Amino acid sequence: MTVPATPDGAVPVAPRVHWIGALDPDLRRFDIILRTANGTSYNAYAVRGSQGVAIIDTVKIDFSEAFFGRLESIADYDEITTVVLNHLEPDHSGALPELLRRARRATLLVSPQARLMLNGLFDPADLAGRVAFVGSGDRADLGDRQLQFLNTPYLHWPDTQCTWLAAEGILFSADFLGCHYCDSRLFNDAVGDFRFSFDYYYRHIMRPFGSYVRDALDLIEALPLRVVAPAHGPILRRDPLEYVARYRALAARTVYGAATKTLAVFYVSAYGATRRMAEAVVAGAESASTAAGEVRISLHDLEGGEAAAFVDLIEEADALVFGSPTINGDAVKPVWDLLSSLTVVDLKGKLGAAFGSYGWSGEAVPMIEERLRRLKLRVPLPGVRARLAPTGNDFAACHDLGREISLQLLGRPTPRTFDLAQIS
């Protein structure tokens, strides 16, 4: 079948609300990390009120001509009183400087978190006296209708906000609830099946910000939604709540729930030494896990599984412990393969530790600890290194490491005191 070409002009979304974005059907990779088999769209919108026109988001700079062409088909530049950027990412702000040059009356409305990024992305001269900061509860008056703002940070930029047009029940949701799926029919009840793109986008863009997703859903679920108008992909006018519910499901902790603390121990072992250390860590962790405060503990041989499944485990876990032998001065490849696959999940604040046996120099443990710190885990406990065959003392140290990890997960860390000079 042939997908109809997009009209050159603006596309009505609701009374006095138009899509004025651009289509990029040939894009096959977005921001290095995303495959885009169906291309993408840069959605921008115009909302007309009795006393002015608001433009919500712009497009990637290469698509400015299409954007301005559609805008000019429904509004004069001197009618534009308000420009909203729901976040500053260049694929939505690329046409902003030119828009502000043409729409001389317009004020740019962004969230307070955008304050420190504006001058890094734009020439301050283009913005001088033209910017106002808005947060939850603030409104932009267009005469007979108003735009309201919801502060929804980190979805997926720090400054992300959503814009709500109560008069039509439309939420302009930035990248939230969006996807890379280009189809000139624009609306979810007209385009092809894009469910895989919707889930794929969530898993690669929103997933690391699960707690912020849940906070935003709390705000959005309270709205009488009729349409969700995201910045990429189909406009959700049929059953928009189904997509909100899908996000709720994707963002939920699914295995044990937040109340149960979980520890995952991963290891690779050539001759069994690091494996036996792993078993001692698990035994120690179990010794501190009582009926009054239980930690769910699991032990995984990294050579026996796929990284993707382990990533799911890690997303759910509260503590991660990695065991690796040292081979030629490095931790072994299965460990690095997993530790380089974790940008799609939220690791902030998880507890991390490392252990392993070695023959000569034993670099693996400190290298893993450093990687865990860089991934924003906390690594409060020194790792355990055993030279060649682990001794009873080595196993006791592993046992203590596991026990202390459980105690920390249960909120009962063993008090320790240092002088800064000791640890510098």
Partner 1 sequence: MPKASITFQDIGVTVTVPAGTRLIEVSEKVGAGIVYGCREGECCTCLTRIVSGHENLAAPSVLEQQVLRDNLAPRRHRLACQAQVLGGCLVVQPA
List contacts with partner 1 (CB under 8 A): 112-113, 115-116, 133, 135, 151, 153, 158, 348-349, 373, 376, 378-381, 408, 413-420, 423-424
Task: In angstroms, give the least distance from the CB of 383 to partner 1.
Answer: 11
Rounded to a whole number of angstroms, the minimum distance from the CB of residue 423 to partner 1 is 5
Q: Is the peptide bond before 87 cis (omega within 30 degrees of 0)?
A: no
- Yes or no: say if 96 and 108 are a contact pair by the CB < 8 Å rule: yes
CA distances from 171 to 166, 174, 215 (A): 8, 9, 16
* Nearer to partner 1 (CB atom), residue 150 or residue 179: 150
The least distance separating partner 1 from the CB of residue 65, rounded to whole angstroms, comes to: 35
Q: Residue 93: CA atoms inside 13 Å, Cβ hemisphere, count?
A: 23
Instruction: Give the nearer residue to partner 1 in terms of CB position, either 133 or 336.
Output: 133
Q: Report, in Å, the least distance between residue 415 CB and partner 1.
A: 5
Residue 81 or 113: which CB sits closer to partner 1? 113
Shortest separation between residue 295's beta carbon and partner 1, angstroms: 16
Contact 231, 86 (CB under 8 A): yes
- For partner 1, give the closer residue by CB, 35 or 348: 348
Considering the complex, state which of residue 90 and residue 112 has its C-beta at the smaller distance from partner 1.
112
Instruction: Report the C-alpha dihedral over residues 167, 173, 177, 183, rounded to 10 degrees.
Output: 80
- Residue number with CB closer to partner 1 (6 or 289): 289
C-alpha angle 171/172/176, rounded to 5°?
Answer: 100
Query: In the Cβ-directed half-sphere of 371, how many Cα atoms lie within 13 Å?
Result: 21
Q: How far is the CB of 254 from partner 1 (least distance, A)?
A: 24
User: Would you say 254 and 316 are in contact if contact means Cβ atoms under 8 Å apart?
Assistant: yes
Strands (E), 220-294: 227-229, 261-267
